[in-house]
Amino acid sequence: MENRELPMQDAPSTLAGFTKIYAETNPPWDIGKPQPPFIAVADQIVSPVLDAGCGTGGTSLFFAARGAEVTGVDFVEDAIRSARAKADERGLNVEFLVKDAMTLGEWDRRFASVIDSGLFHIYAGDERRRYVQGLAHVLEPGGRLFLYSFNDDASWPGGGVSRQQLYDAFSDGWEFESLELAGGEVNPAFEAEFPGKFADMKMWFAIIRRKE
């Protein structure tokens, strides 16, 4: 068991890589509800809401159940199919779209809040710049990004994200309202397979406002 390869390890930021993870594993992030920091600030997450990289929709559905108008996008078709099925089962009206987050900059939609629970940290370099430009495009002026990202612990896939890298990525036209370390939860099925792998994990949780 100890030699088994972790599905997260070297997971490529490609459609094929994530499609395989959803098809063949219990993704560690797939907990069926928002990570705790989103719940703590739920009152601040106002409609319309975009959940970027929504996975199987646990976070989107939580906010829809509170009455928010939510759109969830992910580029993995299977994940969106699961999210739509959950919405149907619960009688919740959520728009789930198969969409590449790299195309946000070409989208004619605007949101007051964007949730990013584990997407930003996948990107580096040009992809990161392009994604952040896309976020600025879809957020209304004065709107807020709620960002949950790997911290700079080097053991995270890709080496994590430092505080300075976050400030640099959002240096132009953005204002940090808060940036703190926060805990998180792991999918119990993943935890059963890989006990303790993400025990006591810490992530960044930031609230970042798009300037007027």
Ligand X SMILES: C[S@@+](CC[C@H](N)C(=O)[O-])C[C@H]1O[C@@H](n2cnc3c(N)ncnc32)[C@H](O)[C@@H]1O
Q: Does 100 bind ligand X (CB under 6 A)?
A: yes
DSSP element (H, E) containing 190: helix 188-193
Binding residues for ligand X restricted to 70-89, rule: CB under 6 A:
73-76, 79
150 touches ligand X (CB under 6 A): no
Interaction of residue 166 with ligand X, rule CB under 6 A: no
Residues in the interface with ligand X (CB under 6 A) total 21
Q: Tell me if 114 contacts ligand X by CB under 6 A.
A: no
Phi and psi angles of residue 79, each rounded to the nearest 5 degrees, phi first: -65, -45
Smallest distance from ligand X to CB 177, Å: 21
The contact pattern for ligand X, residues 5-44, with x = CB under 6 A and - = no contact, is --------x----x----------xx--------------
Crossing angle of the two packed helices 77-90 and 15-24, in degrees rounded to 10: 50
Give yes or no for a cis peptide into 12 (omega within 30° of 0): no
Which of helix, strand or coil describes residue 80? helix
- The residue (of 66 and 211) whose beta carbon lies closer to ligand X is 66
* Residue recorded with tokens 């612990």: 153
Question: Which residues ranging from 42 to 71 are in contact with ligand X (CB under 6 A)?
Answer: 53-55, 58-59
C-alpha 41/C-alpha 166 separation (Å) is 20
Q: Can you say whether the dihedral through the CA atoms of 160, 164, 169, 174 is positive or negative?
A: positive
The CA distance from 184 to 199, in Å, is 9
Q: Does 147 bind ligand X (CB under 6 A)?
A: no
CB-nearer residue toward ligand X: 37 or 55: 55
Tokens at 25, concatenated: 């594993």
Q: How many residues does the chain have?
A: 212
Tokens read off for 205: 């949780």
Please select the residue that binds ligand X; options are 68, 70, 83, 101, rule is CB under 6 A.
101
The span of 114-122, 136-144, 164-172, 197-205 binding ligand X (CB under 6 A) equals 114-122
- Site residues, ligand X (CB under 6 A): 13, 18, 29-30, 53-55, 58-59, 73-76, 79, 100-102, 117-119, 122
